[in-house]
Amino acid sequence: MLQIRDLHKSYGKAAALAGVDLDVAKGETVVIMGPSGCGKSTLIRCVNRLTEPDSGSIILGGQDVLALTGPELQQFRRKVGFVFQHFNLIARLTVLDNVMFHLVLAGMDRDQARERALAALDKVGLKAAAERKPGQLSGGQQQRVGIARALAAHPEIMLWDEPTASLDPILVGEVLEVMEELVKHSGTTMVIVTHEVSFALRAAHRIVFMDRGKVVEEGEPERVFAQPRSEIAALYKKLLMN
């Protein structure tokens, strides 16, 4: 499904990605963990070209992602759902319009977009809030709108960049619950950057640890937390025991 080879990206002299290889199978859920600044966001942002890598290759669903330009790239991005740490909702639009917006922009007729958006809001438990404005929702609810917005496009793959990191700890649980439900029942391929170790243990098929722009360890959640081989995995294991 997703095949990343020898991906490099530098900012000035500093390497954010120093040769990353990663494979994700169709329907698989991969969690990426690692210390701040190790390149997690850079890596997943390269997948839909929010960030341009310097070299390497990315193949997604048979498409050479780095070769896409113009309308091809636009069309490709619609197949990739992205959930951000900061929800990036449009304050003056209703929840429903926030979720419909990019579907209509992509040329879908309004009725169909509305139907899709309502179904996506239903999946995150927010159908009843469709006519509210983002400012009238809690942080957890706003992030669930962010998730519905990604879901509404029926993406082939979903990329999540620390979706619970800017939430009040009390609100983290409701978002993780929605995420876990999606992971278990949607069958969509997921790449999730998160520090939530117990979520990762329950929901991930595989955990990938990064450090200084490289993948330093990967494996099944039970294995990597029980017998970490890298320094970084050992640190996360400690988190789990606290």
Ligand X SMILES: Nc1ncnc2c1ncn2[C@@H]1O[C@H](COP(=O)(O)OP(=O)(O)OP(=O)(O)O)[C@@H](O)[C@H]1O
Q: How far is the CB of 38 from ligand X (least distance, A)?
A: 4
State how far the Cα of 66 lies from the Cα of 122, in Å rounded to an integer.
Answer: 35
Residue 41 binds to ligand X (criterion: CB under 6 A): yes
For Mg ion, the closer CB: 43 or 121: 43
Angle, to 10 degrees, between the axis of helix 110-123 and the axis of helix 95-105?
130
Residue 168 binds to ligand X (criterion: CB under 6 A): no
Backbone angles phi, psi at 161, to 5 degrees: -110, 95
Binding footprint of ligand X, residue count (CB under 6 A): 11
Q: How far is the CB of 210 from ligand X (least distance, A)?
A: 7
Candidate residues 29, 41, 48, 164; the one interacting with Mg ion per rule CB under 5 A: 41
Residue 48 binds to ligand X (criterion: CB under 6 A): no
Amino acid symbol at 205: H
Nearest Cα neighbor of 100 from 81, 89, 77, 116 is 116
Candidate residues 24, 29, 33, 42; the one interacting with ligand X per rule CB under 6 A: 42
69: left (phi over 0), alpha (psi -120 to 50) or beta: beta
Positions 192 through 221 that interact with ligand X (CB under 6 A): none
For Mg ion, the closer CB: 58 or 210: 210
State how far the Cα of 126 lies from the Cα of 6, in Å rounded to an integer.
Answer: 41
What is the H or E stretch that residue 181 is in? helix 169-185
Residue 214 corresponds to which tokens in the numbers above? 């490289």
Q: How far is the CB of 172 from Mg ion (least distance, A)?
A: 17
For Mg ion, the closer CB: 41 or 188: 41
Residue 39 binds to ligand X (criterion: CB under 6 A): yes
Residue 4 binds to ligand X (criterion: CB under 6 A): no
DSSP per-residue codes, 129-171: GTTS-GGGS-HHHHHHHHHHHHHHT--SEEEEE-TTTTS-HHH
Residue 37 binds to ligand X (criterion: CB under 6 A): yes
Q: How far is the CB of 165 from Mg ion (least distance, A)?
A: 8
Residue 206 corresponds to which tokens in the numbers above? 């595989």
Residue 38 binds to ligand X (criterion: CB under 6 A): yes
38 binds, among ligand X, Mg ion, none (CB under 5 to 8 A by kind): ligand X
Q: Which residues bind ligand X (CB under 6 A)?
A: 11, 14, 16, 34, 36-42
